[in-house]
Amino acid sequence: MESKEVKMDLAGREFKITDSPLSSYANGFALVSLGDTVIMGNATVSKKGREGADFFPMFVDYEENMYAAGKIKGSRFVKRAGRPSENSTLVSRLIDRPIRPLFPKGTTNEVQIICTALSADLEVDPATTALNAASAALMVSGAPFEGPVGAVRMGYKDGELIVNPTYEQCEEGKMNLVVAGTPDAITMVEAEMKEVPESVVLEALEKAHESIKEICQLQLDYAKQFEIKKIELDIAQPGEEAVKAVESFINREMLDGVGAKEKLQVKENVEALEDKLLEKYEAELEEGTFTKGELKDVLSSMMEENMRRNILENETRIDGRKIDEVRPIRVVPDVLPRAHGSAIFQRGETMALTITTLGGPGDAQIVDTMEHDITKRYFHHYNFPPYSVGDVRPLRGPGRREIGHGDLAERALLPVLPSEEEFPYTIWVVSEIVKCNGSSSMASVCGSTLSLMCAGVPIKRPVVGVAMGLIKDKESDNCKILTDIQGIEDASGDMDFKVTGTTEGITALQMDIKVKGLSTEIMGRALEQAKKGREFIMEKMLEVVPEPRKELSKRAPMIMSHQIDPEMIRVVIGKGGETIQQITKECDVDMDINDDGVVTITAPDQESGQKAIDWVKRITYTPEPGEVFEGKVVKIMDFGAFVEFIPGKDGLVHISELAEGRVNKVEDVVKEGDTIKVKLLAVDDQGRYKLSHKAVIGEEGGKKQSDKKEEDVRGESVEGTRNVRKVNGQ
């Protein structure tokens, strides 16, 4: 069979889509490469819908393979890949978010997308290539996918925007921005930035969309080469009888009555309206004309449309706020007695308790990825327990949502953290979402800022986050941008646009939409409105915690450092790690040694840390000939005694240097375990130390005689003085 292939130039690298030399039984298949990076995309669609499904059962997985980068998994005992890494999870979410809205609403067929990394060039992040592979596979699958979707990464370095930047350019520059979209508009944004102005972000989005259009056209050209068999999906929707019944009973006044300031009150109002509806059609329900589920679904759709209509026509939100109004802010610092830093940030009903824990350099997290290993000295974890929304469900560890929101908050704070030289601590921040009614990820960003400042971490500037929403008329261009969206506005709205930043610029972005795309003009308006919202929130936060604490918590560990000659590192470590283990155990500290010879001690208090530092100084000290030491006899030989005069260093006291007279037998003067004073006479070419006990004895003897004479002279002088005083007294 003749292979299909299309290709183009993407920022200096060949971008290619083909179906060869591999193939699969998936409904849609594509091999997508960018330079030496190769991703295999497979899209499979079930023939029948899942019965009773109340959501779109689409599953996306990004398979990160070590072999793609020529690496073998780091563990000595387990070489097979296990559960997906956090990076794999984040890329899977990145693929899912722009694709999911482009399937018909109510789809119940299972759709599985698997993107497998077969080769990674270690220069450019493969995530965007994986997203393009997923879209290309769907385009030839026959599924009613309203694509294609193209994706590109943008960088910003030295005042220039870069399409498809390398890892190095992202690291050294100020922007790492992923943009996905259709030929018509942008549909998803994900970014970490170093305080980049809104104007530059908009310029980057516009430039990204130019490349996205080319990528989408390439996918269309690829799909044209296939005879595609269309797949008919099962769409779940209520019957006409149910729609007529609800519409004939429920009026706008009833729908408006659902609104309230509090989430639980809205829920109670909805349940009360549902009860009235079910009571009205009790007979029809018994006859099986329609089901309770159908009636509730229709009512839910009507409430959603009414909420949207009120916003578009009257700028009235369900809780009575203006469209650009932020919910009330509450800040409580230092809430936990033993935490190094803690704070509550509450916006409306959404409440985040964020805790900061400080540790030594050895507590840093090592992340083993397909592309490269990373050492993280700052990491943020986001927890979203079921009680935060009043649910009951088993705890199964962090899911994709928790990992994604934690990563977003982590990226938001990275640009303002002090350097390792300024602040050598490892920083662990945890956000516990205690109560949630929307925008919990942004609450965790604000809570992280407060918690870090309470812990005394000298961040450059506070970071604040706000979630923006959008209600867009389906028939016209009329739209309203909402500041600080709550849960129901997120679920029923057209956009969830999370923006974090400082007074200097944006630090992170995350945007998902449910419409086919947004213009950069609307996104610009959203960014400007978000800036005003952030300024309001920051003002409220700084009223309570105006700046980072001047001192760390008394419960935080103490970090001390000492520079040694890199040649002495082996001495500190000792044979098989013996010495360093002894120091850490006896001093109750943790120790880390860099290749440049910087020894870092993490201690519970000043005394323990200084004890360890002094120990390191002793064993790395370079003795000079002529110095006198007190040492321990560690070995007796016929020709002399070996004395450990500095921890880890011993030298020979020859039998002729043990005493002033003749010594017939070493044991006549010293025994193993004795403590004696020795003088360093010389260091030979092989680094061996020549010691003398005799020299110290001689010096001390001479000193004693000198001291005796001096004492005698002083005594005579004193007596003479006394005599004089007596004479004067007479």
> Which CATH architecture fits 558-619?
2-Layer Sandwich (3.30)
Q: Give the dihedral sign, CA 369/372/374/380.
A: negative
Q: What is the mean pLDDT of residues 572-591?
A: 93
Distance CA 470, CA 479 (A): 7
| pLDDT one-digit tens code per residue, 294-326 | 999 999 999 999 999 999 999 999 999 999 999
Q: Give the dihedral sign, CA 41/46/50/54.
A: positive
Q: What pLDDT was estimated at residue 710?
A: 47
Q: What is the mean pLDDT of residues 272-288?
A: 93
> How many residues are present in the chain?
730
* Exposed e or buried b per residue across 188-204, where buried means at least 16 C-beta atoms within 10 angstroms of its C-beta: bbbbbbbbbebebbbeb
Q: Is the pLDDT of residue 709 over 70?
A: no
Q: Is the pLDDT of residue 701 over 70?
A: no
* Angle, helices 400-413/440-455, rounded to nearest 10 degrees: 50
Q: How confident is the model at residue 369 (pLDDT cuts 50, 70, 90)?
A: confident
Q: What pLDDT was estimated at residue 649?
A: 82
Q: What is the mean pLDDT of residues 61-82?
A: 86
Could you count the other beta carbons within 10 Å of the beta carbon of residue 216?
Answer: 23
Which three-class secondary structure state does DSSP give residue 251? coil
Q: What pLDDT was estimated at residue 278?
A: 94
Q: Is the pLDDT of residue 177 over 50?
A: yes
* Exposed e or buried b per residue across 2-37, where buried means at least 16 C-beta atoms within 10 angstroms of its C-beta: eebebeeebeebebbbbbeeeeeebbbbbbbbbbeb
Which three-class secondary structure state does DSSP give residue 100? helix
| pLDDT one-digit tens code per residue, 628-642 | 999 999 999 999 999
Q: What is the mean pLDDT of residues 340-362?
A: 97
CATH code, residues 329-544 = 3.30.230.70
| pLDDT one-digit tens code per residue, 401-434 | 999 999 999 999 999 999 999 999 999 999 999 9
CATH 2.40.50.140 corresponds to the domain 626-730: yes
**CA-based radius of gyration for the chain:** 36
* CA end-to-end span of the chain: 134
Amino acid at 253: E
Q: What pLDDT was estimated at residue 687?
A: 84
SS3 sequence, 436-504?
A: CCCCHHHHHHHHHHHHHHHHCCCCCCCCEEEEEEEEECCCCCCEEEEECCCHHHHHHCCEEEEEEECCC
Could you count the other beta carbons within 10 Å of the beta carbon of residue 337?
Answer: 7
In terms of Cα–Cα distance, which of 528, 527, 500 is closest to 443? 500
Q: Do 5-223 and 329-544 agree at the fold level? A: yes
What is the percentage of the chain residues whose pLDDT exceeds 70? Answer: 95
| pLDDT one-digit tens code per residue, 179-206 | 999 999 999 999 999 999 999 999 999 9
Q: What pLDDT was estimated at residue 702?
A: 54
Backbone angles phi, psi at 452, to 5 degrees: -65, -40
The CATH number of domain 5-223, selected from 3.30.450.20, 3.40.250.10, 3.40.50.970, 3.30.230.70: 3.30.230.70
Could you count the other beta carbons within 10 Å of the beta carbon of residue 329?
Answer: 19
Helix (H) or strand (E) segment spanning residue 96: helix 86-99
Instruction: Decide: 470 and 497 in contact? Cβ < 8 Å.
Output: yes
The CATH number of domain 240-314, selected from 3.40.50, 1.10.10, 2.130.10, 2.60.120: 1.10.10
Q: How many CA atoms does the CB half-sphere of 160 hold within 13 Å?
A: 7
State pTM to two decimals.
0.85
Q: What pLDDT was estimated at residue 720?
A: 34
Q: What pLDDT was estimated at residue 187?
A: 93
Place of tokens 């039998």: 655
Distance CA 658, CA 697 (A): 9
DSSP string, 386-432: GGGGT------S--HHHHHHHHHHHHHHGGGSPPTTT---EEEEEEE
Helix (H) or strand (E) segment spanning residue 162: strand 160-163
Mean pLDDT of the chain: 91
- Choice between 69 and 373, residue whose per-residue pLDDT is larger: 69
In terms of Cα–Cα distance, which of 33, 28, 127, 438 is closest to 262? 438
Q: What pLDDT was estimated at residue 658?
A: 94
Q: Is the pLDDT of residue 464 over 60?
A: yes
Distance CA 14, CA 23 (A): 21
Amino acid at 394: P
Q: How confident is the model at residue 713 (pLDDT cuts 50, 70, 90)?
A: very low
Domain chopping of the chain, boundaries: 5-223, 240-314, 329-544, 558-619, 626-730
Q: Is the pLDDT of residue 712 over 50?
A: no
